[in-house]
Amino acid sequence: MVLPTKPNSWLCEHHSILSTSIGILAFEAAAAMSRLVSLHRSLSEPELRRLRADTMRSPGVAYLTSTDQHFLLRLACAELFSDLDSAAATVSRFSIHCDSEPLLSFPRTYAGIKAGSTTTHIVTLSVKGVERRVKQMEKCVAVVVKLLEEMEAGGKNMTLVKFGTLVPHKPTAEINSQIKKVGKLKEQSLWCKTFDEVVALMSQVVLAIFARICAVFSPFVPGLPPVLISGCRMSFNPFNPRLRVYPLFTSRPYASGPIDRTKAAAKEVAFRNSCPIIGRGNSEGEYKLPQDCKKVLKPEERTVGGSGLMIQYANIIFTAERLMRIKNGAEEAEEGEVAATRNEIYQMLPAKLQGMVRRRLRERWRERGAADCKLAEGWREAVERILKWLGPVARDTEKWREERMMDKRRRLNTKPRVFALQTLLFSDREKVEMAIAEVLVGFSCICWYEGDGYIAGDGCCRNS
């Protein structure tokens, strides 16, 4: 046991802390638990059905990214494995401080199932067992969130007291109350849990989620480790990798289906409770999952993400949506704000896209006639149609970016996360630029036919 240097400090006010307690690492443990809970929810029946029937078939994804659902499923699978790897890395770091041998060997176990080189059966938790542990982790994360709020509520004085750098001679009642709240929450939270307790709670869930990902995506992503399903349990079968058992997507959590050979499964197995598959692709790709997740998730140069313009284009789309709300009377704007916003959105465009807008405006300039409300309404409908499918992709892009920021509160969110395939990350850059150009040209024509003047770039087109 470690003897505290300051027995009266708030860290030791209620009881001494064992040397194996995770202490400040409670926030990192809570972040890993929240990621596991989020993954568990993302792999639930309703979320998988929504992914297959809605997300992957949304107009924005279909037009900008791909209609090849084999490719989209591969992206989703790689992202799930990548998130799971992050949580497993935390568990592995914690496991080196454990006393139990099974917990110490977790890094080897996880590396073995990823490589498909395990030499014995690894039986995961039952469905009920996973649910129980997920609920326990949810409670742990909730307490850590309250602890974080109380720590931040004290402000600068609380921070100084917490680190022992300055203790006021006469602490106020408010500071004393805050210290007691923090101390009580520490006792209830992961702060005072041992490494063995924390790793034991997370390690089996990591393996169960890995098995669930393999069971769900194996029919469509070749090369995943084989998973056998018996009743409500899953296990990895290293003895005969050519045979796999796939779960049926029914109302029950898991169910066993017919044994299929790997190559035949890719052709014959299809999603249940979903629309017809548009296409699965012909090649397996040069990278294999789950080992090459980062390489699979790296966008090509021809994509918006590969060009480094994802956030910039999302902001342009947000501004265009706001302009449309103003034009429709759904949002008020100050005098001159609309013109300033038009100029701002034009300046946000890269040089190539500015040139595309100018060329389109030059073509439309020759066709323009007198002000006509009917023509303005036609252009308004055209712009609204584009923004109807372009806007959700931009909003998902912003949400995806926020979910992956290092902010502690966002890291402790247990809700299912947005998939990268829903964003502009893998969208074809030329298609996105064409859509944005059409929207800006449409705004220009609306302003012209309604007699509101020109959008940025009109003047140069008129004089050229």
**Mean pLDDT (10-residue bins), the chain, 464 residues:** 43 45 93 96 94 94 94 96 96 94 91 74 79 95 91 62 50 73 90 95 93 90 79 62 39 35 32 36 64 92 94 94 84 74 86 90 68 70 94 96 79 92 96 94 81 50 41
User: Rounded distance, CA 298 to CA 254, Å?
Assistant: 32
Query: What is the pLDDT at residue 2?
Result: 44
In this prediction, residue 327 carries a pLDDT of 81
CA atoms of 272 and 258, how far apart (whole Å)? 15
Structure confidence at residue 389 (pLDDT): 95
d(CA 421, CA 409): 24
Rg of the chain (C-alpha set): 28
Compute the distance between CA of residue 61 and CA of residue 38 in angstroms, rounded to an integer: 23
The pTM of this model reads 0.81
Residue 183 amino acid letter: G
**Cis before 225? omega within 30:** no
Distance of CA 375 to the CA centre of its chain: 41
Per-state percent for the chain, helix, strand, coil, to nearest 5: 60, 5, 35
Residue with tokens 């050519």, as numbered in its chain: 242
**pLDDT value at residue 199:** 96
Tokens of 373: 């409300």
DSSP string, 42-78: HTSHHHHHHIIIIITTSHHHHHHT-S-HHHHHHHHHH
Burial group, residue 240, by CB count within 10 angstroms (0-12, 13-18, 19+): exposed
How is residue 426 written in tokens? Answer: 């893998």
Residue 277: the pLDDT is: 35
pLDDT of the residue at 238: 57
